[in-house]
Structure 1
Amino acid sequence: MAGIPSKLKIKLKKREEENSLRELPSSAVWIDFFSNDYLGLAQEPAIEREAEIMLKTYPKVISGATGSRLLSGNHVLYFDLENFICQHHNSEAALVFNSGYDANVGLFSSVPQRGDVVLYDELAHASIRDGIKMGNAQSYKFQHNDLEDLENRIKKIKSKSADLDIYVVTESVFSMDGDSPDLISLSALCVAHDCYLIVDEAHATGIFGQGRDLISDLGLSELVFARIITFGKAIGHHGAAVLGSKALKNYLVNFARSLIYTTALPPHSLAMVLSAYVHMNSNGQEAIRILQENIAHFKVEKKRLGLEDRFISSDSAIHCLILPGNEKVKQLALHLQSSGYGVKPILSPTVKAGSERLRICLHSYNTKEEISRVLQEIKSYLGQ
């Protein structure tokens, strides 16, 4: 087998020189402060049992999807899951994709048309950016969570042409910062300027609004053109869905290439997601309550230890300590890992150079003692 072209070798060498070369991690047993399993549903044996029982109630269940959703893969479980999601997340329609990446790529590459404009938060997820790049609309960044900058951009665009459609894109909880925009003011701004608001709810799904999402919690569902929810974080399994109108769902079925040209999820995956939702509704409210208590405890402890100014302000399960420099933040992460705490560094170019950070994810199964100890370990390492 031949090696790789020299141009690719140069790019890898550059990553090595910048101390930002990625490698797949090895399996390790740590106190979990790095996974997205916020409610512990990925570890819940009852969900597996409930899924197996559920599958037996459906006729002719096989292990594979056997084709795309438009061919042979649209198993009856898709209908049940999408109907459940509509009721649970207060949406007119839902369309399940294989992953959050597929959902964002399918939505953003197909919906904004040539001549339209997409305005997206400068810290929007890579899957959003990739989808926008694959489409034909013009796109511009606006400053992170800055509604004044966003409004100025909208006014400037509309002053040149009043006929085009403008899509405004943000996240309800940002994956690398853990913070949130002012969604109430943002939705009002989009209504006032006749813009289509799209919100990625990946890290809010299952946590806010009694296991729903942040848009539902704030009562803004009717003001949002599309939401993206994912099942790979707090729901503990795999896949994602776009929430919106029936007309939007019909459009995506016809034009979202990441849905049309890929094999569907197998029935077992759908049963696991649906079982996780049912389990969360009946038994998961306590886990949500404990997670919120752990978030509150983390915020109290970081203030008590004098670390508050080092962290980005967050009310979510994600808390990030800024420590500029890939080597510095990697060494801190390695120190914590050697002490038994699973905390991962976020390096440039994943984040902007100079904003490298330690990313701590909180869970319902973390104890308050573990939270206090990991923060004390960070304080001691930093010499505060």
Structure 2
Amino acid sequence: MSNILNKLQQKLAERAAQGNLRALKTSTGLIDFCSNDYLGLARSEKLRELISQEEDKYKSLPLGATGSRLLSGNHPLFEELERIIAAYHKGEAALLFNSGYMANVGLLSALPQRGDTVFYDEASHASMKDGLRLSFAKSYSFKHNDVADLQQKLKHATGQIYIVVESVYSMDGDKAPLEELAILCDEHNAALIVDEAHAVGLYGEKGEGLTAALGLQDKVFAQVITYGKAMGNHGAAIVGPKVLREFLINYSRAFIYTTGLPTHTLLALKCAYSLLPQLQHERERVKQLAAQLYSQFNTIRGIRCTPADSVILSVFKEDAAQLKPLALALQQQGFDVRPVLSPTVPEGKERLRVIVHVYNTEEEIVGLVQAIANHL
């Protein structure tokens, strides 16, 4: 066993020498510019009260699912919530998974078949790439948001073609060119799969996501809806045709061999969906605050901030080695800002990832900008 322990320690030492060693930490009391709780639902007392009221109505259900949904774990609340999800995101059907990671792995490992071809944006989430590694289909990346590069690579496709993107990218914060991609899919009879993790809650009349906001729900084969961000909860759902739901129930190992979500999570999601249409002011407010922060960041010499229209902002410095000390200095001043380093992003694209929330104040934004400017 000592040999194994030494090898593990050596790998950790290598990462530490590169300055990229990860460690768990808490951030109690800091001003939140880090989490994905864009609309504040994770800390919403109104949501907490609604969940408590719903729990009283469902006392007959067990606390846990007790097994996979194909065995003992299914009950009517699952089916009710999936109907709500499908209607909300303007799809035929929905299927719940235990996390966004498992939804992407479960979809992309099962759906593309041997002989098929999958093209995915190089900036796609790790869960998408991991799902494709488990698939028997061929998969190729294309340059980030580069439709021309994708079109060139489509010439080499065989079988059923799938194009996989995020609507709003988790690291860069920019949007996929969904309308162009939908046209391209029509031309090549390709199926478009869109991960809406960072768009749900923020885009659309009721926060349905970017696909619905653009009226593309009939052009997108599958939407991955994740609940750990603006919805303030946990779990995920895949929204698409009824036959896709049935297929995943039969072939997605991430669904088949997983215990179903607990009752409390289902009720929390049901209540969050009931609140989401009422949060139009919050959607506009958080975007307004983000635009203000973006504008102020770009007045600071020595840094570059992108993109212009997102609540996810990336702050770049020429010397990436200065990012960790800068983040630490900001945390010591009360601002929870984290660096994103390789291998999470490619070498040369390290940045501070700054997230804006509806509960951030203009005074906090000014304070963060001043803290960064003073440190440079």
Give 2:316's aligned residue. Answer: 322
Write the distance in 1 (CA, Å) between the matches of 2:72 and 2:285: 42
Indicate if the aligned counterparts of 2:297 and 2:304 stay in contact, CA closer than 8 A: no
Q: Deviations over 1:268-304 (max 9, x none)?
A: 111011111112223x222212112212222332344
**In the TM superposition, what is the alpha-carbon distance from 1:338 to its structure 2 partner?**
0.9
Write the distance in 1 (CA, Å) between the matches of 2:351 and 2:175: 18
For residues 10-25 of structure 1, what are the structure 2 equivalents within 5 Å?
A: 10-25=10-25
Give 2:133's aligned residue. Answer: 133
Question: Given the alignment, which residue of 303, 307, 329 partners 1:313?
Answer: 307
Residue 348 (structure 2) pairs with residue 373 (structure 1): no
Indicate if the aligned counterparts of 1:67 and 1:73 stay in contact, CA closer than 8 A: yes
Residue 258 (structure 2) pairs with residue 232 (structure 1): no
Give 1:247's aligned residue. Answer: 243
**In the TM superposition, what is the alpha-carbon distance from 1:326 to its structure 2 partner?**
5.5
Runs of 4 or more, structure 1, over 6 Å off, are: none
For residues 194-233 of structure 1, what are the structure 2 equivalents within 5 Å?
A: 194-210=189-205, 211-233=207-229
When residues 73 and 247 of structure 1 are mapped into structure 2, their CA distance, relative to the original with a 3 A threshold, is same
Write the distance in 2 (CA, Å) between the matches of 1:48 and 1:4: 46
Question: Given the alignment, which residue of 268, 274, 280 partners 1:272?
Answer: 268
Give 2:254's aligned residue. Answer: 258
Give 1:350's aligned residue. Answer: 344
Write the distance in 2 (CA, Å) between the matches of 1:260 and 1:178: 33
Indicate if the aligned counterparts of 2:291 and 2:308 stay in contact, CA closer than 8 A: no
Write the distance in 2 (CA, Å) between the matches of 1:172 and 1:323: 26
User: Secondary structure of 2:186's partner?
Assistant: helix
User: Secondary structure of 2:354's partner?
Assistant: strand
Indicate if the aligned counterparts of 1:20 and 1:326 stay in contact, CA closer than 8 A: no
Give 2:181's aligned residue. Answer: 186
Letter in 2 for 1:223: K
Name whichever of 321-330 and 350-359 sits farther off.
Answer: 321-330
Q: Deviations over 1:306-360 (max 9, x none)?
A: 67x7122242210001235653111110011111111010011111111110000
Residue 170 (structure 2) pairs with residue 171 (structure 1): no
Aligned residues: 375
**In the TM superposition, what is the alpha-carbon distance from 1:74 to its structure 2 partner?**
1.5
Q: Deviations over 1:160-209 (max 9, x none)?
A: x5xx1111111111111111121111111111111111111101111100
Question: Given the alignment, which residue of 318, 328, 331 partners 1:334?
Answer: 328
User: Secondary structure of 2:139's partner?
Assistant: strand
Question: Given the alignment, which residue of 294, 303, 309 partners 2:289?
Answer: 294
Write the distance in 2 (CA, Å) between the matches of 1:140 and 1:318: 27
User: Secondary structure of 1:153's partner?
Assistant: helix
Letter in 1 for 2:296: E
Percentage of identical aligned residues: 46
Write the distance in 2 (CA, Å) between the matches of 1:302 and 1:4: 47
User: Secondary structure of 1:83's partner?
Assistant: helix
Write the distance in 2 (CA, Å) between the matches of 1:125 and 1:357: 17
Write the distance in 2 (CA, Å) between the matches of 1:138 and 1:244: 23
Write the distance in 2 (CA, Å) between the matches of 1:63 and 1:325: 50
Write the distance in 2 (CA, Å) between the matches of 1:257 and 1:324: 44
User: Secondary structure of 2:366's partner?
Assistant: helix
Write the distance in 1 (CA, Å) between the matches of 2:273 and 2:41: 9
Give 2:26's aligned residue. Answer: 26
User: Secondary structure of 1:55's partner?
Assistant: helix
**In the TM superposition, what is the alpha-carbon distance from 1:369 to its structure 2 partner?**
1.9
Write the distance in 1 (CA, Å) between the matches of 2:184 and 2:343: 32
Write the distance in 2 (CA, Å) between the matches of 1:77 and 1:302: 46
**TM value normalised by structure 1:** 0.94
Indicate if the aligned counterparts of 1:47 and 1:279 stay in contact, CA closer than 8 A: yes
Write the distance in 2 (CA, Å) between the matches of 1:318 and 1:130: 24
Letter in 2 for 1:368: E
**TM value normalised by structure 2:** 0.95
For residues 43-58 of structure 1, what are the structure 2 equivalents within 5 Å?
A: 43-58=43-58
User: Secondary structure of 2:306's partner?
Assistant: coil
Letter in 2 for 1:176: M
Give 1:98's aligned residue. Answer: 98
Write the distance in 2 (CA, Å) between the matches of 1:300 and 1:106: 40
Name whichever of 184-193 and 228-237 sits farther off.
Answer: 184-193
Write the distance in 2 (CA, Å) between the matches of 1:302 and 1:14: 34
Write the distance in 1 (CA, Å) between the matches of 2:276 and 2:3: 48
Residue 121 (structure 2) pairs with residue 121 (structure 1): yes
Indicate if the aligned counterparts of 2:32 and 2:335 stay in contact, CA closer than 8 A: yes
**In the TM superposition, what is the alpha-carbon distance from 1:82 to its structure 2 partner?**
1.0
Write the distance in 2 (CA, Å) between the matches of 1:297 and 1:114: 48
